[in-house]
Amino acid sequence: MRCENMSLHLAELADGFDGPTPDLACDIGSCLRCQAELAQYRKLLRALATLRGDYVVPDDQLLNDILESLRPPATVHRLHRLNHRNRRAAYIGGIAAAATAGAAGAIVIAARLANGRHSLAS
Amino acid sequence: MLESAEVDELIERAKDGDHPSFEELVRRTYADTYTLAFRLVGDEEDARDVVQEAYLRAHKGIKRFRGDAQFSTWLHRITANCANTYLGRRGRHEHDPLPDEPAIVDSHPQIDPEERAGIGDLRDQLTEALLALPPKLRAVVVLRDIYDLSHDSIAEQLGITESAAKVRLHRARKRLRERLYPLGEEEQARAV
């Protein structure tokens, strides 16, 4: 068999699960190029196996995103309800603060007007 | 390694619906899952989407985890399946599909590859070479030769036959070898 046609067979043989057929063994045994190629495949497989221990480190946000997406619906609902309640309290507080400020302003203006009348009268 | 009695206990509790236990499993595995997803889809943002989808599926299916395989292997299969679905969707939305047989170019032809391997940067070259493979070929070589999944499991997750998975694996290995150990012109001429 020509060396070019051997390449895919060598790629298959490299992990060593299936032994070569007698024909292939004969071809490999008599061809230095095929032997070198087989050795390169084995080296490649060893190098690939070492990548198993390497990690591509993700940023911290990924973990938060995963956990957020997994949060049970009840918890999410409770959180939304809590947010809604907090928002309502904030609105009411804001309106109350605005009303108080308005009333205080009206009192101040009324007091000034009253003082003005007193000074005109005297 | 992830597998331990403590992890088994977390898995059992997660199967009983204990959410904090599942969260702890996520904390212990997400870097590994992300690495696999990145190796399969070749893009950080896409890998994030794949990982999130994988954990959602794992969360839904944890009750069906029987413990026949290791938890990490089970998670790898789910991740591979999600990545395959994701790549399929991405392929449909891309106007310029990836060519099936892109040319392999050695980016440093002036340096002898054997020498490069000798000085210990083979792994970097390999990572680069893996990312340069077409996604379909990359998936099988990553799952088989890095993550040690069986041929039938790979075929199942990628939705192809076992023989197709083997053919892709051998093509992928051939391309990687050709990239990492290119033959000299003289040697090519001598080849018979």
- pLDDT digit of tens for each residue in chain B (192 aa)? 456 888 999 999 999 999 999 999 999 999 999 999 999 999 999 999 999 999 999 999 999 998 888 999 999 999 999 999 999 887 766 554 444 443 444 444 444 555 545 545 788 889 999 999 999 999 999 999 999 999 999 999 999 999 999 999 999 999 999 998 886 544 554 554
For residue A44, the chain B residues in CB contact (below 8 A) are: 126, 173, 176-177, 180-181
For residue A60, the chain B residues in CB contact (below 8 A) are: none
Answering whether pTM is above 0.90, one says no
Confidence (pLDDT) at A31: 83
Confidence (pLDDT) at B94: 59
| Contact yes or no for A11 and B174 at CB 8 A | yes
Cα separation, B153 vs B191, whole angstroms:
37
> Region A116-122: what's the mean pLDDT?
64
For residue A2, the chain B residues in CB contact (below 8 A) are: 192
Q: Chain B 149-178, CB below 8 Å of chain A: which residues?
A: 166, 169-171, 173-174, 176-177
Q: Does A20 touch chain B (CB under 8 A)?
A: no
Confidence (pLDDT) at A7: 73
| Residue of A10, A116, A1 lying closest to B169 (CA atoms) | A10
Highest mean pLDDT among A44-48, A91-95, B184-188: A44-48
Q: Does A16 touch chain B (CB under 8 A)?
A: no
Cα separation, A71 vs A31, whole angstroms:
61
The ipTM, to two decimals, is 0.76
Q: What is the pLDDT of residues B56-86, one digit of tens each?
A: 999 999 999 988 889 999 999 999 999 999 9
Q: Does B43 touch chain A (CB under 8 A)?
A: no
Q: How confident is the model at residue A53 (pLDDT cuts 50, 70, 90)?
A: confident
Location of structure tokens 């051998």:
B170
Query: A with B: how many residue pairs have Cβ under 8 Å apart?
Result: 101
Q: How confident is the model at residue A93 (pLDDT cuts 50, 70, 90)?
A: confident
CB of B77 closer than 8 Å to CB of B148: no
Confidence (pLDDT) at B192: 43
| Contact yes or no for A58 and B31 at CB 8 A | yes
Terminal alpha carbon distance of chain B = 47
Q: Which two tokens stand for residue A73?
A: 């619906």
Closest chain A C-alpha to B173 CA, distance in angstroms: 6
Cα separation, A77 vs B144, whole angstroms:
42
Confidence (pLDDT) at A96: 85
Q: Does B71 touch chain A (CB under 8 A)?
A: no
For residue A47, the chain B residues in CB contact (below 8 A) are: 122-123, 126
CB atoms within 10 A of CB A8: 16
Location of structure tokens 């040697």:
B187
Confidence (pLDDT) at B98: 47
Q: Which of A28-32, A45-49, A58-62, B82-86 has the lowest mean pLDDT?
A: A28-32
In percent, the amount of chain A with pLDDT more than 70 equals: 76
Average pLDDT, chain A: 78
| Contact yes or no for A54 and B35 at CB 8 A | yes
Cα separation, B21 vs A36, whole angstroms:
50
Q: Does B104 touch chain A (CB under 8 A)?
A: no
